[in-house]
Amino acid sequence: MAIKKNQICAICGNRFTITEGLFLRDLSDLLKAQVLQTNKYAKDSSFICLKDMQKLRIAKMQTTIDQDLKIDHQMTDQLQKELEKDTYVIKNINDTVYGKRTRGQKMADAVAKFGGSWQFIITFTAIIVIWMTINVVHLFGVNFDPYPFILLNLFLSCVAAIQAPIIMMSQNRQADRDRFDSENDYRTNTKSEMEIRILHEKIDQLNEVQWPHILDIQKMQIEVLSEIENEIQSLKSENKPQPDRSTRHPHK
């Protein structure tokens, strides 16, 4: 006995059996919205064939994937543009501070380095002790600076007067190095902050948009599996052999 195809699809307009599709009221909200976009006159009692439903599902999945990929590409391009800006270029301090030193600056650095070491303290203390010993004991008959060591005081004052500005020149160069360090730290922090901000946006996009889209796609897949299962059960029930009613039980 032939099965009547008395259901008309609201999308393609062809006739189908009731097992070859679903009614609009049985579809999810997403599919309903897509059907209404295709046929604005569709109602809850409208019939949709399985083939058109699959087309709608595939189109919805593809649109969702394209939108997510577009947003990801936009964020990646934004991050790349920010990283390519010259404001984030880190400068090499050795090239900027030490690479262009003059002879006087090198000498000032050497004097400051030696004047701030134990070697300078020990050497200078030894010179003062030897100086005072020679002039007090008259060693080898030498007495060029008797007590109270006026020449020694003059020598120490001259050394302090010359050493102080030389050390200040070296400290000024150290201040320049600290300034370059601060600029590099600022640029590094700004670059890191920009990367972290865009990564946060990507994570928010993943949690708030892409994960729900993935769940919607999985829901569509479950619906397809359920429809396939129902169709298999319908085919099994149709092909199930009917009992022969003409057979009569023998009378006892």
- Predicted local confidence at residue 59, as pLDDT: 82
Going by pLDDT thresholds of 50, 70 and 90, the confidence category of residue 36 is confident
Q: How many helices (H) and strands (E) does the chain have?
A: 7, 4
User: Where is average pLDDT lowest: 118-132, 151-165, 216-230?
Assistant: 216-230
Q: How many CB atoms lie within 10 A of CB 31?
A: 19
1, pLDDT greater than 50: no
Going by pLDDT thresholds of 50, 70 and 90, the confidence category of residue 240 is low
H-helix or E-strand spanning residue 22? strand 21-23
H-helix or E-strand spanning residue 65? helix 50-83
Going by pLDDT thresholds of 50, 70 and 90, the confidence category of residue 126 is very high
pLDDT single digits (tens) 140-191 = 777 888 888 899 899 889 988 988 888 888 888 777 777 877 877 887 887 7
Q: What is the mean pLDDT of residues 124-151?
A: 86
Q: What is the mean pLDDT of residues 25-38?
A: 80
- Whole-number percent of the chain with pLDDT over 90: 4
Q: What is the mean pLDDT of residues 29-37?
A: 80
Whole-number Å distance between alpha carbons of 5 and 62:
32
252, pLDDT greater than 50: no
197, pLDDT greater than 60: yes
C-alpha closest to that of 23 among 15, 32, 33: 32
Angle between helices 211-239 and 50-83 (to 10 degrees): 160
DSSP 169-218: HHHHHHHHHHHHHHHHHHHHHHHHHHHHHHHHHHHHHIIIIIHHHHHHHH
Between the CA atoms of 219, 220, 226 and 231, what dihedral angle is there, to the nearest 10 degrees?
A: 180
Q: What is the mean pLDDT of residues 93-110?
A: 71
Q: Determine the straight-line distance between the first and last CA of the chain, rounded to whole angstroms.
A: 37
Whole-number Å distance between alpha carbons of 34 and 57:
9
Whole-number Å distance between alpha carbons of 29 and 45:
15
69, pLDDT greater than 50: yes
In degrees, to the nearest 5, what angle opens at C-alpha 129 toward C-alphas 126 and 131?
A: 105
